Amino acid sequence: MEIKINSSTVIVVYKQKIKNIVHMDVDTSIQFPLASSNRIVFTGHFNGYGVEINSIEEMAMLYHMGYFGKGTKSRSRPKVIKSHGCPVIMRKRQYGKRQFWSKKFKNIHEANNADEFLHKINVLSKKIIKDHSKELKKDIIDLISSDEDCNSDSRRNGYKSCMDSDNEAADIVVIVPNSDSEGDDYFEKFEMKSCLNIIKCEEKLALTTQEAFFLLYSIGCLKIVNNGKFLEVNECWNLFLTGDCHFVEKYVVYHYYRSKGYIVKPGIKFGGDYLIYRDGPGINHADFIVVIKFEQEPQNWLWTLGLVRMAASTLKEIIIIEVCKPVEEDIILPKDLCKYTVKELVLSRNSTQIINDSEG
C-alpha cells in the first residue's frame, strides 16, 4: 500500500511474523521454582487499580525473577533507601502535602470509628429492647450515657497516646525552602528547620492487573488480598474484569509475549499498550511497541500513519496485534483462555530517496 504526502512516498509494509524473535538468556528469564516443595508464594494487596507488594524481600525477588512490577517511588527497579540515622531532606511543598494527607486520613479514620461505635450501640439497644421491654427507657439511657462517657474518654486518651507513640517513633525530616532554580539567591537566603515526619511514604512494588493475574493463574506464585481475605482465581478474574473492560484482550497479549520469553512492560510512555524487551529494561532498549487492535475502535489511514510516525521517532517497530475470540459461545473464563488466538502485523516505514549520481 502506498500513499503520497508532500511529494514523498510513505510505504507501509505488513509482515506476518515478528522479526528476530529470540528467547532470553537464563539470567533474565523467569526462575521461579515450580516444585511444590520449593514453591515460593508472594502476597499482594489489591488497591483498586493494581496490586502492591509491601515486603522488601518479595519486591526484590519478583523484580529479579522476571522484571515484574515497578517501584512506586522509582522509575523502574524498586529501591529501598536507608537513612543510616540521617534525617530525610524534603521540600516545604512535600511536607505540606503530607500534612494534608495526615489530616484527611485522620478525619476518615475518626469518622469510621464513630460510625462503628454508633452501629454497636444500635445493635445493643435493639437487643435490650427485645430482652428487657419492661425497663426500656432506664436501661437504654443508662447504657448509652455510660458507654458514651467511657468511650469518649478512652477515645480521647487512646488518640493522645497513639499520637504520642507515633511522634516518638516518627522520623525527623529536614524541611528546605521551595525553589525551581537553585541559584545564588536561593543559597544566600537558605533556611531550614526540622520537623516530625507525619506520614512515611514507603517504597512498594506496583503490579499491573495483567502481571498480577499472570503470577496468580499461570505460575501460581502469588496470593492477592482484597478487603482482608485471599481471592480465588475466579474472584480475582471478575474483580480485574470489572475495573477494565479490555482486560481479557490485554491479558491474552501479555500472556502471549511472556510465553515467548519476552519481558513485557506497560507502553503508555510511547503511545502503545505494551513494550517488549529481549533482556529487560536497564539492559537493552525495547525492540517493539505493541498496540492492541480492539473491535470497538475504528482504524483508518490517519491512525496507521500516526503509528508509523511514532515508530520512526522512537526508533522502534510497531506491532499491531488482534485478539481473536473462540468460535464457541459457551466458553468459561479464565479456564478457556487457551482457546484465544492472536494475529500480528509489524509496521515499518521506508522513505525513498533520490540520489543523483550523474557527473557535472
Residue 15 annotated among the catalytic residues of the structure: no
Which H or E element spans position 123? helix 92-131
Local structure of 59: helix, strand or coil? helix
Local structure of 166: helix, strand or coil? helix
What distance in Å separates the CA atoms of residue 151 and residue 158, rounded to the nearest whole number?
10
- CB hemisphere CA count around 141 (13 angstroms): 4
| Cβ neighbours of residue 50 closer than 8 Å, sequence gap 6 or more | 206, 207, 208, 209, 212
Per annotation, catalytic residue among 70, 256, 316, 340? 316
What distance in Å separates the CA atoms of residue 19 and residue 254, rounded to the nearest whole number?
18
Residue 49, all three cell numbers: 487499580
Residue 277 annotated among the catalytic residues of the structure: yes
- Provide the terminal-to-terminal Cα distance of the chain, rounded to the nearest Å: 36
What distance in Å separates the CA atoms of residue 199 and residue 61, rounded to the nearest whole number?
27
Q: At what angle do helices 233-243 and 247-259 cross, to 10 degrees?
A: 120
Q: In this structure, are residues 289 and 311 in contact, taking their beta carbons and an 8 Å threshold?
A: yes
CA nearest to 66, candidates 57, 75, 77:
77
Per annotation, catalytic residue among 64, 120, 127, 285? 285
Local structure of 18: helix, strand or coil? coil
Q: In this structure, are residues 46 and 235 in contact, taking their beta carbons and an 8 Å threshold?
A: no
DSSP-assigned beta bridge partners for residue 4 = 9
Residue 316 annotated among the catalytic residues of the structure: yes
Q: In this structure, are residues 56 and 80 in contact, taking their beta carbons and an 8 Å threshold?
A: yes
CA nearest to 254, candidates 39, 34, 68, 77:
68
Q: Are strands 172-176 and 193-196 parallel, antiparallel or unpaired?
A: antiparallel
Residues annotated as part of the active site = 277, 285, 316
